[in-house]
Structure formats: C-alpha cells, structure tokens
Structure 1
Amino acid sequence: MTIKLWLLLLLLFISFFGKAQNVVKEKTSDSLIVPTSKTTTISEVVIQAVPRNLKLNDGNMVMTVSGNKDFKTSTNLLDVLRRTPGVTIDQEDGIFIGGRVAPAIFINGKPIVMSTQELQAYLRSLPPEMVESIEVNTNPSSKYDAEFKGIIDIKFKKNTNLGWNGNYNGNLYVNKFSSRENSLNLTHNTEKIAYTLQTGYNDGISTYRYNALQRLANTNVMRTAIQQKDYGTVFSIQAGADFRLNDENRVGLNLRGNFRENNRLRSGSLYTTDKNETQLVFNTESENPIDYSQNNYGITGDYSFQNKNFKLSFLGNYLSVKNKQQDDFINRDKPSSELLSYWKSDLFNKIDIYTGQIDASQKIGSADIEAGFKYSHSITNNNIRYDTLSVKNQFIFDPTRSNVFTYKEKIMAGYLAYRQKFEKLQINAGIRVENTQSISDAVSSAVSRNYLEWLPSFSASYSFNKSNELSFSYSRKITRPVFSQLNPFRFYFSPLNYWIGNPYLLPSFTTQFKTTYRYKNWITSFTIGKEKDVMTRYPLYNPETNVLEYLGTNLPYRNFASLETSFPLKVTKWWNITSQFAGYYNYEFRPYLDEIFALKIYNYEIRVNQVFTLPKGFTLNLFTNYESKTGNSLYIIKPRYTVDLSVQKSWFDNKLNTKLGYNNIFDSYDQRLEFRHKQIMDNRLTHWWDSSRLIISLSYNFGSSKYQAKEIQKTEEENRTR
C-alpha cells in the first residue's frame, strides 16, 4: 500500500508540475516554439512542438513508430498500439478503434487476420524497432472486404541487404503467477530468394475472477463468486520463401502451424440468503476443470506482376483449425459436501477455409483504376455431447444439452475503385458487390440464406499547406455473424449461467461519415453513422429456476457518433507529453421483454502519455488512462482507470534492448456492471483480470543483414473462426 501511495504522489507531481510554474514563454513559428532565452532550471516550462511523427494519408492517421520517443519503452507492438491515438486495448488485450470496432490487422498493406489469441501472441513477439509506422483507418473504402469496418496497417522497416539476420524477443510477466513469451525470427536473403523462419513458445498461468450480486424474484439474495486459473502453452512456427524471378515477377510461399494446450481450473460458489441477509437458504460450490487444445495449419501462396503502370496480384489461402475441449461440471452442497449434480461435455470443432483473390491496377495519367475479385468457401463442423450422472451412478447421454451444428458459407465479391489527384485535392470512389450463400444446419433446425449487397464508398482530401489538411469519407459496410454467434450450443459459465448462439442471426449494415482535420501535429476526427440489425447478446432470467442465460439477437438499429483528438507537446528537451481525448455517443433502439428501451449514452476517455529522457541513455514512460461511466440500454458500466510505468535502456550499439515495466500499478482496471432496470432483474457483476503485473523484456538483434521479408498474408474469414 505504501508503494502504491508513493507512485500515486509521483504521478500527480509529474502530471501537474507544469501547472505550478510561474512563467510560460512561447515563441511561435510554423514548425517550432522555442524559448526566448536559455533555461538552466525547471523554473520555466518551455513548450515546443515535437518532431513530425503524425501525418494523414487519405484522411487516416499515420503514426511513426521506430525512433518515436512515445514508444521507446514499449515492450512489444501490442504495447505500442495501447499508446497509439485512436486505438484502445481492453483488459483481455482485445484491439478496438473508433469506440468498439474490432479492426482487421494488416502487415505492409496485406491482411494478417488470425484468431484472437494467436494475433495477440504475434503482436507481442514483435519489437517496436521493427516497425516503421502504423496507419489507423476507421472508414475503409470499397477496395477492402466489407467486413473491415476498421483497419490497422503495420508497415515494417525495409532493408534489402544480402545475408542473414536474427532477432530474439523475450518477455516475462510476473504477478501472483508468471508467464513467459519467447520468439525467434531468422531471415536469409540472396539475390533471388528470401527465406524466413519464425518460431515461438509461450507458457504460463493467468487468473480471472468473477463476482455477482443478484436479488432474486423471491427476494432472496444470491452471491456468485468464480475463480479461474488457466495454465497454457503455445508453440508456433512459420516458414516461407519469397522468389524474385525478375524485375516484374514475384512468387511467395508460406507454411505455418500453431499448437495450443490449456488446462483450466474454474471453481465457484453460490451463496444465497433471505432478503435481510440473515438466514442462509443454500450454499453450493462447483468445480469445472477444462482441457482444451487447438491445432492450426495454414498455407499461403501469392504471385505479383508489375510492368510500368500496370500491376497484377494473386493470393490463395487454405486454413485448417481443429478444437477439442472436455469439461467436468461438479456441483455440491458446501456445508455437507453432498453431490448435487455432475455432468461432462465433449466438444469437437473443425473449420476449413479456402480463399482466392486477384487484384489489378492501371495508372492512366494522374488517375488510378483498380479492380478485383475474391472467392471464399468455409466449412465448420461442431459436435458437443453432454453426459449426466444418473441416480444409478452412471453417466448417460443428455439430449437436452447436446447438439450437432454445421455451417457452410460461400462469398463472391468484386470491386471497382477510382483514385485521382487534382493538385491539392484528392478524390477516391469505389463500389463493391458481395454475394453471400450460407447454410446453418443444427439437429433441431436449418437456416439457408442467399443475399447480394452493393457497398459504395467515397472520400476526398484537401491539403491547404504543409500544416493544414482536411478530409471527408463515406462508406457502407456489412458485418456477418462470426461462427460462435451462430452456434446454438450451450456454453456454461456457472451452473446457473450460460450463453447460447443463434443460427437465425442476420448480418448488420453500417453507414457512416467521417471528417478529419490536421493542424501540424494536432489531429481531430468526427464520425457519425447508423447501424441496422445490430448483433448483440441479452440476458434472460428465469425467476422459477434462477437460471440466467445470454442469447443472441438483432436490434433494429443504433445511432452512433465519436469525436477524437490527439496532440503532442514538448515541454522541455527531456519531457514529451501526448494527450488524447475521445468522446462517444450511442443510441440503441432495443426491444426487450415486450418493452422498448432506448437511451442516449455519452461517455469519454482521456489518455496521457509522458516520456522522460534521462541521463545515461535511460527513457522513462508514464501512461495514464481514464474511462468514464458508460454502458448500453440494459447495463451501466462503472468508470475505471489504469496507470503504467516503464523504463528502457539500449546496450552494445542498440543490439540489446532491455525494458522494465509495471502495468496497471493500482490494480484498478476491473470491469463493474449494473443492470439498469431493477423491476426486471437486480444484478451487479464484476470481471477482474490479472493485468497488474511486472514486465521484464529483452530483445537482441544479430546477424549481417536487416532484410525484412514479406509477411504471411491471411484473410478476414480466418478471424471469424473464433
């Protein structure tokens, strides 16, 4: 507690030190604000503009990473994104932009979409020094898959020196338990072929806690407490070759595998009393051990041809995913240890995805014309079996919980895009058409769909001068339900709490407008739009059994808007501050239990990133984040904050990079929710993750070259396997 108090005082001192000064001197020019005289003490705060690390590209923010002081202490690329304006990383390391939009991740202009866990591990394996820049696109054009409501494009540093190069990156996370991440990247470049090999091995223990307070329909009070301890190991390997046949033709081949094992122990209790909380009604405890494994195999082939102003490219991909999970659900009366119920589950899931796409572009004068076609075919087979312990002490098949589910989907898409620049004005226009054919087949029902959608986009940007840019964009997007949202299986969180997928879910459609303005390093954007057939989950409480289940549905519509701004300041030559502010508006029209709930929700987020350049090559970083009260038509989400502190030092001509960090110092980033409508259900719950931890990071570069080969190219369908 003493350490936390000391760190809090340090935070307050650093954050508000500048406000306590008596004199602020500024001398303004187009590129620099400098002091009128030399300062030898901190008695004067001198505010200067920072180097140009921000710019716009077609209205999208582009942030320099390598060499940017804001990211010098970042342990990996996921940590870089946490500090990037317009990007939010939640407590489970999920990536979001523009509020709650999960973006596609691109590498050098190509999608590298993975399952959530695999993507997080991959980003944590990349040191910031490998990355040239990050582009955040919150309104992609029709050139991109209609699923992409947002894109984060990560550009690696380019170097084509011959020879070999290697990088080892290791991270150690320490709190109550510890976990480790290790990755090794090797490249060898010849005159015609570039070889790449990447391996990774991660292991460790993570913990999670869930607590809930619910006043039941019969006025009893029930408290739920769940603790989860998850031990996991992940091994990954990627190998590829990039063949430069000549100046015009290039062929690439990549193979990959990812193998995950998780042993999870989840234990919980249900403690119920009367309304005065004086008389015990029942006290049960549960055990839920889980064995989970996932094996991924993928192969990617690509070809590109370029001759003068014409370019042609092809990308083909195959992905195979196999998931296996076995659960035991054991429920006992805690005072007497009497067995109340016992059931087992056995889940098998297999997904196969085939994709192929071809793109062509031709430059005609100052105009660029692009066109492309894509075909994807995915098949998922799911089988879950439940067996329940009978009165005869034998496990028998439980048909009420068991199910078999098959989902098949074919998507054919084509686009035409036009781009032209007229001096300071640039125009982009495009149209995309996508035809979707799908069949959801469960034991109890089958749903078949076939629909065609036209999805236009338009953008214009105008550069007044080097310091002022203005852009406008419009797009229409489609979001198809992911496989887990359609799957009608029952997934238990506790004996009285589970969620079920809905095979009847419809895709949602989003229309949005975005305006962005840049003045020097100050970038402000405003987005407004409407989403129809919004996919969401809702709680359904049974007052007779006290079971709470979460079901999937489509809401008629929601209106949304956001205002985001970020600006860096150089207080002194050793103190840089980057401030970010985001305000959000959301209006849901939600039918629920024969009533209509429609509320206007306003919330905001403030982030301040402070970088201190210390003597002897040390860099100190203090990152603070505050999220106001938010929620939706049914739930209130309480405010929360986090504070991260980290320090960095390079050695041996920057070949060795060491970093030490302490994330979520005050363990203050838990998520607390409260159901708004007490006449329906009085429920309060808290999710806690072990995000308060010490991080030790080490990265070492070796070899004779720094050649960066092309990354594996994946498709958006792979993201929908999760």
Structure 2
Amino acid sequence: MMIKLGLCMLLLLLSTFGKAQDVLKRKVSDSLIDDKSETTAISEVIIQSASRSIKLNDGNVVMAVSGNKDFRTSTNLFEVLRKTPGVAIDQEGGIFIGGRVTPAIFIDGKPVVMTNQELQAYLRSLPPEMVESLEVNSNPSSKYDAEFKGIIDIKLKKNTNLGWKGSYNGNLYINKFSTRENSLNLTYNTGKVAYSVQAGYNDGISTYRYHALQRLANTNVMRTKTYQEDRGAVYSIQTGVDFRVNDKNRVSINLRGNFRENDRIRSGSLYTTDKSETKLVSHTESENPISYSQDNYGMTANYSFQNKGFKIDFLGNYLSVKNKQQDDFINRNKGSSALLSYWKSDLFNKISIYTGQIDASQKIGSADMEVGIKYSQSDTHNNIRYDTLSAAGQFVFDPARSNIFSYKEKIWAGYLAYRQKLGKLQINAGIRFENTNSISNAITVDSLVSRNYLEWLPSFSASYTINPSNELSFSYSRKITRPVFSQLNPFRFYFSPLNYWIGNPYLLPSFTSQIKATYRYKNWITSFTLGKEKDVMTRYPIYNPETNVLEYLGTNLPYRKFAVLETSFPLKIKKWWTVTSQFAGYYNYEFRPYLDDVFALKICNYEIRLNQVFTLPKGYTINLFANYESKSGNSLYIIKPRYTVDLSVQKFWLDNKLNTKIGYNNIFDSYDQRLEFRHKQIMDNRLGHWWDSSRFFLSLSYNFGSSKYQAKEIQKTEEENRTR
C-alpha cells in the first residue's frame, strides 16, 4: 500500500510539473479567463506560479513564515520546519537537512544550542506569526564553527513600538494519552531598555513500542517486545535585558533555566520458540522503571559596537547541566514468575561549558573583511553505578557494568573571511583554523585517551544573479565532526536485557568535503550536493551466539561518498488552492569493514512531499500534508518505506488576536520505522520502532498588550549541542 501511495504521489508530482511547463510555454491573454472559466473543471484551469515566498541568499534557501499560507495551520515553528523544503523531522524530534545532517539552530544570526528535548520545547513555544523567515544553509562557510555542517537561521519579527506586549500559546495532543504545551511571553520596551520574560510548562504521557524477530544461531526464533510510557513535566524560564546605550553601542544579558522530571515505565518480553515456531523454549518478562531529572542553567552576555563600516561583537556563554537517573532491571520467568535477575543503576552526569568569541568586520568599498577568534571549554563527568541482587538476597556492587568517565575539551578557533560584490557576481572566501585538545578518561577501566590536533578548513562560494527570476550559486567547504559525549562514554545503555549499546572513547573525528550547486527560477529551486566523508562515525551490531546478546559498538568507517538532489516548487492552482511539491533524492556509498568482510553498497532512495493549502470563505484555512519515504538503509540494514498524512484547519478570531487550529497528524498511523539486517548468513534480525505520532491536536494562541516589540532571544553556543 505504501509503495502504491508513493507511486501515486510521484505521478501527481510529475503531472503537476508537466502542467507547470505547459503554462510557461503558453502565452494566454488575461481576457480569455472570465468568471465562467473559474467554475470549470480543475483540469481545464491554467496553473500559475504562487506568490513569492521563497528566495536565495548566497545560495541558501530563505522561506517566509509569517503570513505564508503554507504554514498558517501549523501549531508552532517545530511543525513549520516539517514542511520547509530541505528540512526533515524524525519521530523523536530530531531535525535534519541534506539527508542526515543535524543543523545548528540560529536565532537572528546567533547560535542557539540546547539538548534535543529543550530545543524541541523552545521551537514548540514559537507560533509561526512570531517568525519572519527561515534560512536553510546546508553548506556553511568557514566563518562558522567547523562542526556546523548545516545551519537553520530563524529570523524573528522585529517591532520597536514602546510599551508592553504579551502572548500565550497552548497546544493539546490526544491519542491514548494526552500531552500539553504552554508558553507565556512578556516584553516591555522603554526605548533605551527592553525587558523580556518567557515561561513554559509542558507535561503529559508519551508512548513507544519496540519489536524484533531474530533467528538465533541454534535455529530457535526469539521475539522481543518492549512497551514504554514516559510521564514527564518540563518547567522553563528565561529573562533578558537589552540596553541600547546609543546608536553605536548595545549590551544584553540573558539568564535561563530549564528543569525536567520524567518517570518512565518500560516493560518487555523475550519469547523464544523452536525453528518451526510451534514449541515454546522460554518466555521471560522484564520490568524497567526509570526515574530521571535534568537541571539546566545558562547565562549569555553580548556586547556590540558599530560605527559606519566597522563592527565588533563579543559573545560569552556559560552552561551548567546536571542529569540524574535511577533504573531497576527486573527479569522473571513468565510461566512460574520466578525471579531470574535483578540489578539497579544510579547515574549522575554533570556538564559545564564556557565560551567566548570576538568577531570584527570592516567594509572597504564593495568588499567586506571579517576576522574572529573563539575559545571554548567543556568539562563532563559521568558516574554510573550498578548493583546486582545476589543469591543471598543482597544487592552487591557490579564492577563489570559500573563506570566512571570524564571528558575535557578545549578548542581555540579563528577565521578570516573575504566578501565582495562585483556587479551581478557575489564572491565569498574564507579560511578557518581549529585547535582541539581533549582528554577522555575511563577511570573504571584505567583507559586514558589524549588528543591534540590542528586543522585548517577552507571555504569558497560564488553566486550570480542572471535576472530577477534566475539565480545560480556554487559553494565548497571542509568540515570536522567531533564525537559527542554519548559516543565516547564506554557504559551500557540498555534497550532490553539482551540488547544494549556501548560508547567508544577511541573514536576519531570525521572530516567532510563537499560542493553544492543551487539554481532558482522564480519560486522553483533545485540544488545538488556532492561530497565525501572520511573516518565516518557509526554503530555496528555484534551478536554473541552463546549468550544471544546483541550489542551495538561505535567505530570509524574509512569513508563514504554521498550525493543529494533536492527540488521544490509552489504552484497556485486556484485562488483558493495552492500546492507546494518537494522531491529529494539521496545517494550513499559506504565502505564498511565488518567482521571478516567488507561491505560496499550503493544505496539510493527518495522522499516526496505534497503540501496543499485551501483558503476558504469566512477566514478558514485547510492544510493537507503528505510525505512518502522510499526504501532506504545502509550497508548493513534495509529500512522499509513509510508515509504519513496530516490534516488541519485554522481560523483567526477577535480582530486576529486569537488564533485557533485543530487537526490530526499521521492519520493512518503509518510512520513507524521497520528495519531488516541485510546479511542473513551473519545474523537474521528484523526490528521495528513505533512512536505515538498519530494524534488529534487542538491549538490556540492569544496576543495582548499595547506594543508589538519582539524581544531578542537568548544566544547560546554550538558546544551546548554536544551535551546530548
């Protein structure tokens, strides 16, 4: 059914593409279209290009958000990103561009980096009406931190009216359980000083299911099932003061706190039969209750000076994160209820980050020279203790699972960038250096890994404006990706009693070189990216046929080659009906040594999106969004195709102060992820993940106050992203 749906969507896409070409070739007089033709069949209506809501900036796609009908029914900015060309959101809220690249999030040109959960909550607190535009940069220059393989820059609407303004945003999601999101924004502007306060509270229950089928080495068949309920509450508050000293000097200070409490109930079973699946061999049940908390504190200080063509900017950040988690792992025989094993874990994790950077620029004629330097320091300490129930009925320390791990990292970075406009040609060139000094210390196993390396990272881009309807751009960059803490930490993270993954403190950073070409014809944008990544960081499975334990370990692959083709074009079929079509094709070639073999497969897959907006009488807007992903995977796993369909309705009330939205996401509950191991001679394993993304939602936002001043958002650093 999913394949048929994908083919139908592809045919519709191609059909729409063909109709658009016919319109471009034909010259039809406006007098031929009268009132009577407006009521004829859709197939006889001339399709026209939609109004301009998309453009290029140095080859980067810039999408208007506020006032854009494509996003009018979206509950928040997180939902807007799902429909933005070139951006993808997975079931757990991860944001990706250009395939599987995790972008840095910027607000008004400044990096905003949080843990994944905190970032999701922040994006869900922003309604589309507060956002001017989104800029998607899938090939950032050397001006930006080398870990930024991609950037999404969110431009907030700017108003400077004096007085105060407030807004409330609330969302309710319902399926088996319900979740609620609430945010309150207050700003006060005196002309010289702007104050801002944002408070949020989210709570509710989310569910997750995991299932796997594995044919064991002894020919038995084992089925794994896991069900999880996550009951959570998140409190957040941030305050800011922005001093406009004069036209040249500006100072801002921001403070924030985010506090999370989660109680997770996870239950599972291992059901094993003989190879005919008629005789029961064993049946065990597991319970894994989890209590988790996270406390985040952050501070940002920013000073900027600007005089004529000269500008200097200082940005300093401090972040403190504390994580605590307690687990119980209880395994019983299903038939007799006899206790098979019982162990407990107690985790404490603390992260501290300090950063400071100075950027300066000088305009010289039609050219701009920029220079900057940055220092960042991060310290992470992780202590996890396991205690196992002994035969005597006492919990005793388990040294095989317990782990104390610390990671310290210092980075000095600097860049020099040149930019000049020569008529219709815009040229950008830059060079960046980054010196990394890191020490990872697995104290429990007495393993110390120290590294100190310097890398030079160039970039170049050129864009040419042929005419107002045609633009062409080309860019090149070299990037570095350092392993994050969770990839380095050599402790066990359990999915089930026989399934877990372990970090690798010996992982090396990876390096990516890529080129990108982009062409725009009116609202039609097509881009092509080609690149190669060395020392690719990935996980691989190892199966033990004696214990039936399946563990996932981290390693560096020698290299992979990749290519991405993306195109999007909005069309106005009728005054009340617009369609935005998106197509992305992906190519991936991995050189993967695994066990005693080398697997090198060429994987091609594609994704199609159709976003239809219907503007109806009396101010109602209906949005129908469909997404199809073809079969994909990597050298080891096949990922099955899947699709999703969303339907929503929006309307303004009370002179546009009240905005209400109602809808249903993932109507057919068809967006679960199913994987299959390719090489049956090594391991016959099939697994699936399901998240509760099929749900009804109700959303409302209300604006009040006497001003439309938009407060400056907190600025945070890219190092914070690596705490996840």
Q: Which amino acid in the other structure matches residue 159 of structure 1?
A: N
> For 1:717, what is the secondary structure of its paired residue?
helix
Q: Equivalents in 2 of 1:681, 1:513: separation in Å?
A: 37
Distance 1:275 1:185 in 2: 60
User: What TM-score, normalized by structure 2, do the two folds share?
Assistant: 0.96
- Measure the CA separation in 2 of the matches of 1:17 and 1:587: 27
The answer as to 2:332 corresponding to 1:332 is yes
**Is 1:571 equivalent to 2:573 in the alignment?**
yes
Q: Counterpart of 2:55?
A: 55
Please list the CA deviations of residues 379-411 of structure 1 after superposition, one character each: whole Å capped at 9, or x if unmatched. Answer: 000000000000000000000000100000000
Q: Is the 8 A contact 2:290 2:328 kept in 1?
A: yes
1:143-185 per-residue CA deviation (whole Å, 9 max, x = no partner) reads 0000000000000111111100001000000000000000000
Matches within 5 A, 1:539-558: 539-558=541-560
Q: Which moved more, 1:38-47 or 1:668-677?
A: 38-47
Cα distance in structure 2, aligned partners of 1:33 and 1:449: 70
> Against the structure 1 CA distance between its residues 27 and 352, is the aligned structure 2 distance closer, same or farther, given a 3 Å change threshold?
closer
Does residue 117 in structure 1 map to residue 104 in structure 2? no
> Which residue of the partner structure matches residue 344 of structure 2?
344
Alignment partner of 1:36 is 2:32? yes
Shift in Å, 1:709:
1.9
Counterpart of 2:507, as a letter, is L
Contact residue 20 and residue 48 of structure 2 kept, 8 A: no
Paired residues of 2:305 and 2:311 also in contact (CA < 8 A): yes
Change (3 A) 1:339 1:25: closer
Provide closer, same or farther for how the CA distance between residues 637 and 34 of structure 1 changes in structure 2, counting only shifts above 3 A.
farther
Q: Give the structure 1 partner of residue 646 of structure 2.
A: 644
Residues 26, 527 of structure 1: CA spacing in aligned structure 2 closer, same or farther, 3 A cutoff?
closer
Q: Structure 1 residues 200, 31: CA separation in 2 closer, same or farther (over 3 Å shift)?
A: farther
Corresponding residue for 1:286?
286
Distance between the aligned counterparts of 1:82 and 1:180, measured in 2? 20
Contact 2:369 2:419 in 1 (8 A): yes
CA spacing shift, 1:441–1:287, aligned 2, 3 Å: same
**Aligned residue in 2 for 1:712:** 714
2:129 partner SS: helix
Q: Is the 8 A contact 1:113 1:715 kept in 2?
A: yes
In the TM superposition, residue 36 of structure 1 has moved relative to its aligned partner by 2.4
Deviates more, 1:44-53 or 1:280-289: 44-53
- Indicate the residue corresponding to 1:470 in structure 2: 472
CA contact (8 A) 1:25 1:36 kept: no
1:455 aligns with 2:453: no
CA RMSD, Structure 1 to Structure 2 (Å):
2.1
Flag structure 1 segments of 5+ consecutive residues without an equivalent. Answer: none
How far off is 1:40 after superposition? Answer: 3.4
The question of 1:169 aligning with 2:169 is answered yes
Deviation at 1:128, TM superposition (A): 0.1
Q: Which residue of 2 aligns with 1:138?
A: 138
Tell me which residue corresponds to 1:402: 402
33 and 560 in structure 1: CA distance in 2 versus 1, 3 angstrom threshold: farther
Change (3 A) 1:421 1:31: farther
The 8 Å contact of residues 33 and 47 in structure 1, kept in 2 or not, is answered as no
Aligned pairs for 1:81-96 within 5 A: 81-96=81-96
* Secondary structure in 2 matching 1:720: helix
Residue 35 of structure 1: how far off its partner (Å): 7.5
1:395-448 CA distance string (max 9 Å, x none): 000000001000000000000000000000000000000000000001220100
Taking structure 1 as reference, are residues 257 and 595 closer, same or farther at Cα in structure 2, changes over 3 Å only? Answer: same
What's the secondary structure of 2:545's corresponding residue?
A: coil
> Is the contact made by 1:237 and 1:257 (CA closer than 8 Å) also made in structure 2?
yes
The 1:316–1:534 alpha-carbon spacing in structure 2 relative to 1, beyond 3 Å, is: same
Residue of structure 1 equivalent to 2:377: 377
Aligned equivalents of 1:32, 1:612: Cα separation in 2: 25
CA shift in 2, pair 1:109/1:32, >3 Å? farther
Deviation (angstroms), 1:645: 0.4
* 2:667 counterpart SS class: coil
Contact 1:473–1:515 (8 Å) recurs in 2 = yes
> Following the alignment from structure 1 to structure 2, what is the Cα–Cα distance between the partners of residues 256 and 31?
58
Give the drift of 1:685: 0.2
Do residues 685 (structure 1) and 687 (structure 2) align?
Answer: yes
Contact 2:220 2:273 in 1 (8 A): yes
Aligned AA for 2:96?
F
Is residue 23–residue 46 contact of structure 2 (8 Å, CA) maintained in 1?
no
Query: Deviation per CA, 1:484-509, whole angstroms, max 9, x where unpaired?
Result: 10011111110000110000000000
Tell me the equivalent position of 1:441.
441
Distance 2:593 2:21 in 1: 57
User: How big is each residue's C-alpha offset from its partner over 1:314-342, in whole Å with a ceiling of 9 and x where there is no partner?
Assistant: 00000000000000000000000000000
1:92-140: CA deviations, max 9, x gaps?
A: 1211000000000000000011100000011011000011110000000
Kindly tell me: are residues 560 and 18 of structure 1, through their superposed partners in 2, closer, same or farther at Cα, counting changes over 3 Å?
Answer: closer
Identity of aligned residues (%): 80
Give the letter aligned to residue 190 of structure 1: T
Q: Please give the residue correspondences for 1:143-542 in structure 2 after superposition, counting only pairs within 5 Å.
A: 143-443=143-443, 444=445, 445-542=447-544
Count of aligned positions: 714
Query: Segments of 4+ in structure 1 off by > 4 A?
Result: 15-20, 23-35
Larger mean Cα displacement after TM superposition, 38-47 or 401-410:
38-47
Counterpart of 2:452 in structure 1: which amino acid?
N
1:24 deviation in Å?
10
**CA shift digits 1:470-497 (9 cap, x unpaired):** 0000000000001110011111110000
* Contact preservation (8 Å) 2:328, 2:343: yes
Report the CA distance between 1:12 and its aligned residue: 8.6
Say if 1:360 and 1:18 are closer, same or farther in 2 by CA, change over 3 A: closer
Report the CA distance shift for 1:599/1:308 in structure 2 as closer, same or farther (over 3 A). same
In the alignment, the residues of structure 2 paired with residue 555 and residue 18 of structure 1 have an alpha-carbon distance, to the nearest angstrom, of: 38
SS in 2 for 1:653: coil
CA contact (8 A) 2:104 2:151 kept: yes
Partner of 1:582: 584
SS at match of 1:133: strand
Distance in 2 separating the partners of 1:676 and 1:715: 40
Output the CA distance in 2 between the equivalents of 1:596 and 1:433: 35
**CA offsets 1:443-476 (integer angstroms, 9 cap, x no match):** 2201000000000000000000000100000000
CA deviation map 1:620-643 (0-9, x unaligned): 000000000000000000000000
Which residue in 2 is equivalent to 1:618? 620
Structure 1 residues 192 and 29: alpha-carbon distance in aligned structure 2, compared to 1, 3 A threshold: farther
The CA deviation at 1:27 is 6.2
Give the structure-1-normalised TM-score. Answer: 0.97
1:528-552 residue CA offsets vs partner (Å, 9 max, x unmatched)? 0000000000000000000000000
- Cα distance change of structure 1 residues 278 and 404 upon mapping to structure 2, 3 Å threshold: same
Evaluate the alpha carbon distance shift between residue 272 and residue 357 of structure 1 in structure 2; reply closer, same or farther with a 3 A threshold: same
CA deviation map 1:178-213 (0-9, x unaligned): 000000000000121000000000000000000000
CA contact (8 A) 1:25 1:45 kept: no
CA contact (8 A) 1:26 1:33 kept: no
In structure 1, the residue corresponding to 2:81 is in which secondary structure?
helix
Note if contact 1:25-1:35 (Cα within 8 Å) is conserved in structure 2. no
Once the two structures are TM-superposed, the CA of residue 30 in structure 1 deviates from its matched residue by 12
Distance 1:42 1:184, change over 3 A: farther
With over 3 angstroms needed to count, the CA separation of the structure-2 counterparts of 1:199 and 1:284, relative to structure 1, is: same
The 5 A counterparts of 1:643-682 are 643-682=645-684
| Cα separation, 2, equivalents of 1:82 and 1:531 | 26
1:344 maps to amino acid: K
